[in-house]
Chains A and B, each alone.
Chain A
Amino acid sequence: MEISFARSGGFTPATNVSGTIHFDSSGAHISAAGTSYRRDLPAEEAKQLQDLATAKLAQGPAEPANSPVRDGFQYDLSVKTGDGKTHKLTLPTETQGSSNAASNITSWVEHEAQKIWEHGLANIQK
């Protein structure tokens, strides 16, 4: 399995970020194209993430246009499964924030995208 995610939208322009998660026997590795961002996930978290992604795909596509949120970030997910198929979906917009990232893939992606964004900010500060 390979998972890619992207953040777009928001009131401000150019706050887009994207990342890719590669899975292997030791866990998973996150990278963000065009940046030096790297993060290794332990096997347990990697397994949990795979389960969340599988469950989300089973739910089918959401309908983000029905959300009342305006200027919220848009989070897109692309999952390449073992059979070689790629499944794309836009995650429903969160309105309450996300303190429990482990239980919700939207929250997980939101947190990880923010980490990548802040990584870029840190490089600007240097």
Chain B
Amino acid sequence: MCIPNRAHSIYCILPPHILINIAKRGTPEQRDAVLETLSVDQSLRAVRSQFSLLGGNKIAHESLTGTPPQKQRTIYDAKTTQVLPGTFVRAEGQPPVGDQAVNEAFDGLGNTFDFYFKSYQRNSIDNAGLRLNATVHYGSKYDNAFWNGQEMIFGDGDGVIFNNFTSCIDVIGHELTHGVTGSEANLVYQGQSGALNESISDVFGSCVKQFVKNQTADQADWLIGEGLLAKGIQGVALRSMKAPGTAFDDPNLGKDDQPADMAHYVQTASDNGGVHTNSGIPNHAFYLVAAAIGGYSWLKAGQVWYDTVTDPRLKSNANFATFANLTILNAGRRYGSSSPEKAAVNNAWHQVGVLKQPLSVSSQPLNPSQRGETRPSNGGTQPSQR
């Protein structure tokens, strides 16, 4: 709803397509006024997003017509087999069942759906209301959760090292985000683009958790999989975005090997080129941005990342540097070329070593060398060998 006494209240009564035309073709003052008007009304935020991301985001029909999109969740039970999707156990509109994993998956998918729509007006994985399917109790002592291109699948954990994978909202947000990334840039799951794919899932998985817990950046734990390690395992989580490499150090599990910067980039053939390892670098960059901006991380830092994930200029083989430069461009487009938000994004990528010095160019156009575009596509600044 529009606020009556605002200076630009005339824009409140204009239909969305005219607002977009004003924003596209009007004076800078008219443009700012339109964007401000759009920003105060939740029902118009989709239009604002459509304008802001012209040439970028796809906006679902439901968002533009004002009809809230409806979640369509279905949970299946594999009953410790590896046959998918398993036995149907709960659908949208049905009450909780007696199985905690089923209800956790159901609620986690709902929370993630709500997060994406309320934060970025995104209607499900494909932004067109795709049904959300998940299978729980997959396999026996199965220490994993994954996205298979069609649905989310959760193991029960072994009970010795890992607990049930549905117990962490950020894990559910992580897996659903793989679907989002797959429907947008579809970053190749190998090397740096694969690590970006992983990091984007950690970023929005953490944002979903912060959104549900109503935490600001300084209140959040920035852990991925907090509570997933079984009792007795020495560690707090699987990964730390605030301090990569410190999440666990246990005789049975080993030590968290995530790097926090490019100087410690890990070259390996395992895990699709270390996609779950080197994701620590962009993970830490996001943390630095969110911490520098302050407030709720999904509102500004998350928005910049979301704008970038949905930016058509983000190609499937993007490396860290090209992703970093797109986040800087999107921060400038959304918050202004001299904004502290853009400076925070620029500084973070320099701090983790993805972009090269100097740090003082935050409000200046970057040349290709400064943008890191002259680097090999899959290499770090000083990659270490493993």
Chain A residues near B (Cβ < 8 Å)? 6, 8-16, 64-65, 67-74, 76, 95-99, 114, 117-118, 120-121, 124-125
Closest to B257 in A: A13
**Can you pick out 27 interface pairs between chain A and chain B where the beta carbons lie within 8 Å of each other?**
A11-B146, A11-B171, A11-B225, A11-B238, A12-B144, A13-B256, A13-B276, A15-B143, A16-B270, A65-B188, A65-B272, A67-B149, A68-B148, A70-B147, A70-B182, A71-B146, A71-B174, A73-B144, A76-B269, A95-B84, A96-B83, A97-B81, A97-B139, A99-B81, A99-B83, A117-B143, A121-B160
Q: Which of B145, B160, B175, B190 contacts A124 (CB 8 A)?
A: B160
Q: Which residue of B lies closest to A65 (CB)?
A: B190
* Min CB gap A78→B, angstroms: 11
Q: By the criterion CB–CB under 8 Å, are A121 and B158 in contact?
A: yes
Pick the contact of B144 from A6, A10, A16 — CB < 8 Å? A10
Please tell me the number of chain B residues within 8 Å of chain A, measured between CB atoms.
Answer: 49
Chain B residues within 8 Å of A16, by CB: 270
Contact between chains at A121 and B149 (CB < 8 Å)? no
Contact B161 A10 (CB under 8 A): no
Given contacts A65-B188, A68-B182, contact A12 B146 (CB under 8 A): no
B349 at the interface (CB under 8 A from A): no
A71 touches B147 (CB 8 A): yes
Residues in chain A near residue B161, CB distance under 8 A = 121, 124
The answer to whether A8 touches B141 (Cβ under 8 A) is: no
- Find out whether the CB atom of A71 lies under 8 angstroms from the CB atom of B143: no
CB distance from B179 to the nearest CB of A (A): 9
Interface residues of B in 167-225 (CB under 8 A from A): 171, 174-175, 178, 182, 188-190, 194, 197-198, 201, 225
